[in-house]
Structure 1
Amino acid sequence: MALAGCKVSAPFGGRREEPDVVTPARQPPEAIPTSVFRTLRFQLIAIVVLTVATVLAVSQWVDTRLSERAEERDLQERALLALRTVASLWGRTELEALRRQLVAINEGDREITAIDIFGLAGGRPEVLLTTRDAPEAAAGTLTPAAATQLARGSSMTLDRERIGAGVWRVAVPLRRDGAFVGAAQVELSLDELARLRRRLRVIDGAILVCSTLLISFALAFFLERRVARPVAALVAGMQRAESGELGVRVEAARGGEFAFLAGSLNRMLSRLEELTAGLESRVRQATRDLAEKNRELQQANQRLWQAQLEIGRSGRLAALGQMAATIAHELGTPLNSVLGYTQLLRRQPWSADDGEKLAIIESQVQRMIETIRSVLDRTRDRELHHAPVSLGPLVAEALTIVSSRLAGREVALQSLVPPDLPPVPADAAALRQVLLNLLTNAIDATEPPGTITVSAVVLPQNGRPGRTLELTVSDTGHGMAPEELRRAVEPFYTTKAPGRGTGLGLAIVDHIVRAHGGQLEVESARGHGTSVRVRLPMEES
């Protein structure tokens, strides 16, 4: 620029994303209409042109008046010269010769229309000699008042009362031997003077119009380059600064008020840019500090929420511990006796079908004993024994155990576990308990016809510290409402009919998964079934 121009999941080591800091959009400045500059330029030009035109008009009027006065004086002097000639010839030349000389004088000056000589015998002017074709036309041209004025010693009279008729009359006295004997009068035509005046006025008007136009164009060009462009540059710079471009600078021409204004504006913008940069730096730092405080507060709230959940869970676990101790005392000895006799029976020869049934009885009794131990372990935090566990056989075993519950029901069990799935470091008994609890819940929630699917996959890292195995048990059952979903892993909370559930299945699963360093995630919607995902780390921590 120139001047001159919905999910419920337990935590798994993730972090909460902070919301971006949103800054309000800067509104663009209101544009100054171009008509403002045009109006300013027009006003400046109009004021200067009117001033100059007025001065020119006054000066020309004065000059015209002076020229007219000069013409009048010249005309008067010529009349007096002619009259002095007449006076010198009066009395020394005969009348006929005098008349010829008067006619010659009359014809020699085009402004002189007539020369008259009057006698003043008896006090009234009498025409003695005239150059007029009709002598009687001269009668009365010398007024008595003029004659009286000449008789009293005036050297000249000028009749200007009839200037409207375009005629002047100049008279001088005629003396003989010092005595006043008559008067000589010259009649002058003002037509030439009037034509000269009109010509002067036309010339003066043309000069005035041309001068006004020339001055207007010159002023418009000057104001455009020296005023309008600098003002437009300053306004454009201020508008860009107002829109947020504090780095804009206005180029300044050397010298002048606009250069001073441009320099002052540039210095102000530099100072504003420095202050804004400092302020923005402080705001960014304050925003970072506030975001850090918010993260700390959110983490504290999360820890408080977890602590409250643990307190509630601990209260329920206290009751569970008392109940577990009673169960272990009342059921432990009979179950051990049943298990012992079952093992003795299996040592005897049986048919294959009977042997398989005895094996199921033995495994179910062991499951009951393991369940009692699991409940006790939940209250005692029993140490898990991690070892590589192949998930395929474990899933097949669990499906075989629960398949007896589906006899005669149109509910299908299917396993989508890949045979080449790598082993996962876990406690096999605990992982079997997880599968059995999830399958039992799925069977209870699925009405025929329906499908229960067990699948497993190794998830990509995607920013996680290591590989993760995801085990999913999904069903096509009735699902859960959002309120039920939020309380799904609470101990003793169940959606089953009274007498069909204790509300410990998912709570035990959640406890086991947490003990393995994993994550439990439940997805469910009313009428669309439920999917429970267990994510376990593939490497021991």
Structure 2
Amino acid sequence: MGNSPGPFIKELLGRKLRRSVSLKLIIAIGSLIFLGSAVFWVGFVIRGENKYLQLSIEHAKDYLRLSEVALRSCMLKGQSHRIEEAVRDLGRSEVFEEVSVVKHPEGSIRFTSSDKKGKTIHKDSVECKLCHENPSGPGTEAYRVERLDHGRKLLLLRAIRAENNCTARCHSGASSPVLGFVEARYSLTPLDRTLKEQKVATFVFGFILTAVCSGVLCIILWNILIKHLYTLTDAMEAVRKGNLDVKVSITSRDEIGTLAQTFNSMIEELRDARKKLENWAKELEEEVKKKTEELRRGQEQMVHTEKLASLGRLAAGVAHELNSPLTGIVTFSHLLLQRIPPERKEDREDLEVIIEQAERCSKIIKGLLGFSRAMKTEMVPLNINSTISKVLDIIRNQAKFHNIKLITDLAPELPEVVADPSQLEQVYMNLIINAADAMNDRGELRISTRKVTIEGQDFVEIEFSDTGPGIPPEHLDKIFEPFFTTKPVGKGTGLGLAVTLGIVQKHGGHIDVKSTPGKGTSFFVRLPAKKEDAEG
């Protein structure tokens, strides 16, 4: 949000009035300002009117007093014609519209600037009532504002009192101290015109001042309240849409700042909670995948074990049925080969082929018998390093391993495992021979042992790593299937790794394979450690 109230105006125009808190605040405060200003300016105008009216009255009174002094001077001198002229001049002045001298108590008009000379003022007239109802008593000054069709007029009365220097010739036999009155009418039209202009100017100024104050108030409200409310509203809308990275930047130390800090803290807690939920969901997903993979592997192992068991039973039966005939074929073929003279070369070659193929069948039968025997176990505690050393002593002097560099890295103080020694030796032998075949009887074979812990359980791990060509990725999931082999025809039966996997699984372990084409293959045999040794 910017610092300009422009978005505020757009907000007021774009949202429904009943839903705009800012507009409600502006209307409420603006109404208070308007009412307060109206009361103030009306009072100000009324006070101004009264003040100017009072000034006009005092001005008229002062002028009338001076006029009364001048008339009294003429009366004392007995200059009636001068009185007539003075009254007429006063009526023509800028101050008074009409001036008359009334004799008391007859009420006859003796001198006047109008055409009322000789007329009599009755006791019920406005002039008489104004004088006699005067709170200061009759015979003093009195005034009254008259509202006529053509404007307001000020009626002034001033008593002409008998004094010691009055001559008997003028007022002989007068019993009242009041000899008469000077009556004057003062037009308030110029004053009313001036007051009207001032009233209009005052209200225009008041309206402008109220508008300016309201505008300033809007800007102040925008900067200290409404802008921050919109910032919070936008942030909440962003949170509603799922954006928890939003942060409200309000640095004020008032309630709005506290609200912003609370909002930021709440968003941070929500963000942490969402991260935890995401982590939990990810962990749960990984755990589900892991358990699914374990179930899949377990199912595959069960199927594989069942296949091996069935195959083992079949292999035992087939091996026993075929072993005796093949032994006879090989024996009598050798006897027949001895009786055939050397010159019958073709016959001897045919017999040699028969002997070779029969011996191949015999080798397969031996593999089947070994496979069937692998199904029977005799479990005893043993040391892995000892069984490996025993197997290595057997193969070191074989011609097949003369060009293979055997490297051992056997960890000392390994925990014992509970296993069948002969079957483990068969596992080692199968993996070592497979490595030698993969390297074409030359290369480097590393055998290492170590203790590992997987999911809180201790295992003894035996690693067989060769420098052969590696296993193609598309064959990795098939190498443990019975009769699957990548060796040339006549070089392998495809039972070695199947027998190896069956033995390891029967011992509660598992085998992992890592192979890089062109660099070599590593087999990892993991057997569960004996519990007493693992705990020790």
Aligned to 2:97: 113
Correspondence for 1:348? 342
Same amino acid, percent of matched pairs: 13
SS at match of 1:377: helix
Q: How many residues align?
A: 404
1:298-313 pair list within 5 angstroms:
298-299=293-294, 302-303=297-298, 305-313=300-308
1:511 aligns with 2:495: yes
Q: 1:252 to 1:116 in 2, by over 3 A?
A: same
The corresponding residue for 1:145 is: 125
Change (3 A) 1:368 1:269: closer
Deviation string, structure 1 residues 160-207 (Cα, Å, up to 9, x no partner): 142653433334566663447755321221221112102311331243
- Helix, strand or coil: the match of 2:125? helix
Normalised TM-score (structure 2)? 0.56
Contact 2:103 2:179 in 1 (8 A): yes
Among 11, 26, 34, the alignment partner of 1:35 is: 11
Aligned twin of 1:18? none
Classify the secondary structure of the residue corresponding to 1:187.
Answer: strand
Structure 2 unaligned segments of length 5 or more: list them.
15-19, 162-170, 376-390, 402-430, 447-462, 484-488, 503-516, 526-536
Give the Cα separation in 2 of the matches to 1:210 and 1:200. 15
For residues 34-73 of structure 1, the aligned pairs below 5 Å read: 35=11, 43-73=24-54
Normalising by structure 1, we get a TM-score of 0.55
Counterpart of 1:204? 202
The Cα of 1:77 is off from its aligned counterpart by 3.2
5 Å-filtered alignment, 1:159-308, equals 160-162=146-148, 164-172=150-158, 177-179=174-176, 183-228=181-226, 231=229, 243-245=243-245, 250=249, 252-253=251-252, 256-261=254-259, 272=269, 276=272, 295=290, 298-299=293-294, 302-303=297-298, 305-308=300-303
Q: Distance in 2 between matches of 1:427 and 1:152?
A: 147
Contact 1:3 1:252 in 2 (8 A): no
Tell me if the contact between 1:56 and 1:208 (Cα under 8 Å) persists in the aligned partners.
yes
CA distance in 1 between partners of 2:221 and 2:236 (Å): 21
Residue type at the aligned position of 2:326: G
Shift of the alpha carbon at 1:361? 3.2
Q: Which amino acid counterpart does residue 168 of structure 1 have in structure 2? A: L
CA contact (8 A) 2:130 2:143 kept: yes
* 2:95 maps to 1:97: no
Q: After TM superposition, list the pairs within 5 Å mapping 1:383-422 onto structure 2.
A: none
Distance in 2 between residues matched to 1:150 and 1:300, nearest whole Å:
120
Separation (CA, whole Å) in 1 of partners of 2:266 and 2:301: 55
Q: Which residue of 1 aligns with 2:56?
A: 75
2:287 equivalent to 1:315: no
Q: Which of 360, 364, 375 is the aligned partner of 1:367?
A: 360
Distance 1:536 1:337, change over 3 A: farther
Q: Report the Cα distance in structure 2 between the residues aligned to 1:141 and 1:346, rounded to whole angstroms.
A: 188
SS at match of 1:426: helix
- Do the aligned residues in 2 keep the contact of 1:119 with 1:182 (CA within 8 Å)? yes
Residue type matched to 2:148 in 1?
A: R
DSSP-derived class of the 1:318 partner: helix
Instruction: Select 2:111's aligned residue among 129, 139, 147.
Output: 129
Q: Is the 8 A contact 1:321 1:379 kept in 2?
A: yes
Whether the 8 Å contact between 1:466 and 1:539 is mirrored in structure 2 is no
Cα RMSD over matched residues?
A: 5.8
Residues 316 and 141 of structure 1: CA distance in aligned 2, closer, same or farther (over 3 Å) = farther
Distance 1:309 1:120 in 2: 148
Q: Which runs of 5+ in 1 are unaligned?
A: 5-31, 391-423, 433-457, 475-484, 492-504, 519-532
Residue from 316, 323, 329 that aligns with 1:328: 323
In the aligned structure 2, how far is the partner of 1:160 from the partner of 1:540?
124
Judging changes above 3 Å, is the alpha-carbon distance between structure 1 residues 289 and 237 closer, same or farther for their aligned structure 2 residues? closer
**Partner AA of 1:35 in structure 2:** E
* Aligned counterparts of 1:232 and 1:471: Cα–Cα separation in 2: 66
Query: Which SS does the other structure have where 1:167 is aligned?
Result: strand
